[in-house]
Amino acid sequence: MHVKNTTQLKQAQKKIVAEQKKFPKKVIVCCGTGCLANGAAKIVDAFKKVLDERKIKDFAVEALCETGCHGFCEQGPLVVIEPRGTFYTKVKPKDVQQIIERSIENDETIEKLLYTDPQNGEKIERYNDVSFFSHQRRIALRNLGKIAAHDINDYIAVDGYQALAKVLKKMTPDEVIESVTKSGLRGRGGGGFSAGRKWRTCRDVESDTHYILCNGDEGDPGAFMDRSIMEGDPHAVLEGMAIGAYAVGASEGFIYVREEYPLAVVNIQKAIESAVEIGLLGDNILGTDFSFNIKISRGAGAFVCGESSALMRSVGGEIGEPRAKYIRSVVKGLHDKPSVLNNVETFVNIPIIINKGADWFAAIGTPKSTGTKAFSLVGKVRNTGLIEVPMGITLREIIYDIGGGIIDNRPFKAVQTGGPSGGCIPESMLDLPVDFDSLTEVGSMMGSGGMIVMDDRTCMVDLARYFLAFLVDESCGKCVPCREGLYQLHAIVSRICDGKGVEEDIEKMEKLSEMVVLGSLCGLGISGPNPLMSTLKYFRNEYEAHIRDKRCPAGVCRELITYEINDKCTGCMACIAVCATNAITGKKKEVHVINQEQCTKCGACYAVCMHDAIEVF
């Protein structure tokens, strides 16, 4: 198939949809990275084998759809039977035979595979009724879990490349930029800058060459939004980039993907090849004068290369170091040519804005933060995974309605947004609306969309130490404030965790943080002290307890805690079995004892005890 114009694209779509309707039932298997790690590939193989053997009427292997991440990673591997939307969780290859016999050949439901609501124990059959999904609004993630990840026909069937056809046939570049600007779309990579304004500035720069780049680096710990989109809906990324290229006058684009995302690279490459093959990328797209090609540039995993100027240097074959901010990449970016850089989530919003209109998108969210935002919801929350919600939703709604609340009903303590450079938001702010400006006002940030939930057993001092250690390792070292300032902050916090902190440390950290923010060259250093400053602001009492009382209230910092066994001990011997230093003694069915001189405070005994018999002091 090769589409030479918009009419042929429409005809191709009708033909593909008609072919898909031949199969009254469809089996959807999540093949995102999380489900693949839990054996989804074996489930797909089992389906193919059994379906091929049974020769079911009105069903074929072609009706088996391997999709990208559905989002509900906690419950994977996931299988959905359409059109009923029957939602099976934690599926194993041995379950496939029964699924085919009962849910495909017949219309029965296998109750043991259904999702169980953790709050009331109710079995829920359809995925749309699961609270994790029902409280979301999916725009950027609209195709994940719906279409085959690398099948261009599936993408075309859901109006894929219709937005590109529309702009090439009916819109001028200025009209495209005006539509994006009017929608209020802000960059989803963390900066929150107006996408339309960025595109306009780049287009207005006179140059023989313009570039469009997609940032798929996503280095924040716990974040996997862009990864999942690239793996599960790569054609939406390509279409968004092509529309952006048409708008700014670019003929060449790059997708920068970190080395740790191999499946994303494979699926994007397949998508590029298939789009070129049928004439939706390459020369004279859809019979117009517009030509656009995309290449993949693989990063080596350096966190700093998520910063725009460092990324462009890396793409250009140079050392990935940032440069002074007075040099704007929209004026002098890749190879010193005007360049637009947006992240994956920003680009996948572009086609739907073109198709449904700027006013439609602007009506979602808040006036200053329009649309939706994808987050990776992880940590001490029941339902972990990939979510998308309207801007302006509260943290409470995300954590309790979508996330299902805290594991084991423990008290909520804080949620960190914005990755290593973000901040920690306390329980008193659970009703804070999630949008660019509200998060910034309380000392955090949107970032790329990582959201880590913490319970009362999280030490905020130790958390600050962890993120500072990450940033120290990831700093490129080019500027002294970042290289030395973050190192010194980490050293002070580490000393506090070890019980060696002094009263002057808090004031010293506050002054040093100000210096790092003011003097750093790029966003890594400028926002680096955020985890420390936000925990100092909202959890100062924990720092004071570490310094003054030599005590870790959360029971985490080894040098400031002891483990003791209470009378709840049943003598099950589990703790003895895991103690590497033989510090625990006792007979079976008798209360055990910990020898404090031999105990290394590793916490293994605490982790395995099922009777709450081990306490931390």
pLDDT tens digits for range 521-532: 888 888 899 999
The rounded distance, in Å, linking the Cα atoms of 551 and 443 is 26
Q: What are the boundaries of each domain within the chain?
A: 8-129, 160-362, 372-455, 460-549, 562-616
The rounded distance, in Å, linking the Cα atoms of 40 and 526 is 41
The rounded distance, in Å, linking the Cα atoms of 594 and 586 is 9
- CATH class of the region 160-362: alpha beta
Integer CA distances (angstroms), 453 to 135, 181, 497, in order: 18, 34, 21
Are the beta carbons of 404 and 384 closer than 8 angstroms? Answer: no
How much is the pLDDT for 60?
Answer: 63
The rounded distance, in Å, linking the Cα atoms of 305 and 195 is 20
Is 24 in a helix, a strand, or coil? Answer: coil
How much is the pLDDT for 57?
Answer: 59
Tokens matching residue 452? 């880590």
- Ranges of residues in the chain with a pLDDT under 70 are 57-61, 326
Tokens matching residue 548? 């003054």
How much is the pLDDT for 219?
Answer: 79
The rounded distance, in Å, linking the Cα atoms of 189 and 421 is 13
How does pLDDT run across 304-351, given as a tens digit for each residue? Answer: 888 888 999 999 998 888 887 767 899 999 999 999 999 999 999 999
How much is the pLDDT for 347?
Answer: 98
Q: What single string gives the DSSP state of each residue in 435-475?
A: SHHHHHHTT---TTSEEEEEETT--HHHHHHHHHHHHHHH-
CATH code matching the domain that covers 562-616, chosen among 3.30.70.20, 1.10.4080.10, 3.55.50.30, 3.40.50.300:
3.30.70.20
Same topology, domains 160-362 and 372-455? Answer is no
Q: Is the dihedral of CA 178, 186, 329, 251 positive or negative?
A: negative
User: Domain 8-129, what architecture?
Assistant: 3-Layer(aba) Sandwich (3.40)
Are the beta carbons of 198 and 340 closer than 8 angstroms? Answer: yes
Indicate the residue type of 518: L
Indicate the residue type of 274: S
The CATH code belonging to domain 460-549 is: 1.20.1440.230
Integer CA distances (angstroms), 451 to 71, 74, 301, 575, in order: 14, 15, 21, 33
The rounded distance, in Å, linking the Cα atoms of 333 and 312 is 7
Tokens matching residue 493? 């916090």
How much is the pLDDT for 58?
Answer: 58
Q: Which fold is adopted by the domain 372-455?
A: Ubiquitin-like (UB roll) (3.10.20)
How much is the pLDDT for 461?
Answer: 97
The rounded distance, in Å, linking the Cα atoms of 291 and 150 is 22
Measure the CA angle with vertex 443, ends 442 and 446; round to 5°: 90
List, in sequence order, every residue forming a beta bridge with 424; answer none if it has no partner.
416
What backbone phi and psi angles, to 5 degrees, belong to 176? -65, -50
Radius of gyration of the chain measured on its C-alpha atoms: 26
Distance in Å from the first CA to the final CA of the chain = 69
The rounded distance, in Å, linking the Cα atoms of 617 and 615 is 7
How much is the pLDDT for 606?
Answer: 92
**Alpha-helix runs per DSSP H in 61-215:** 96-99, 131-134, 152-157, 162-170, 173-183, 195-204
How much is the pLDDT for 421?
Answer: 81
The rounded distance, in Å, linking the Cα atoms of 489 and 534 is 14
Are the beta carbons of 305 and 217 closer than 8 angstroms? Answer: yes
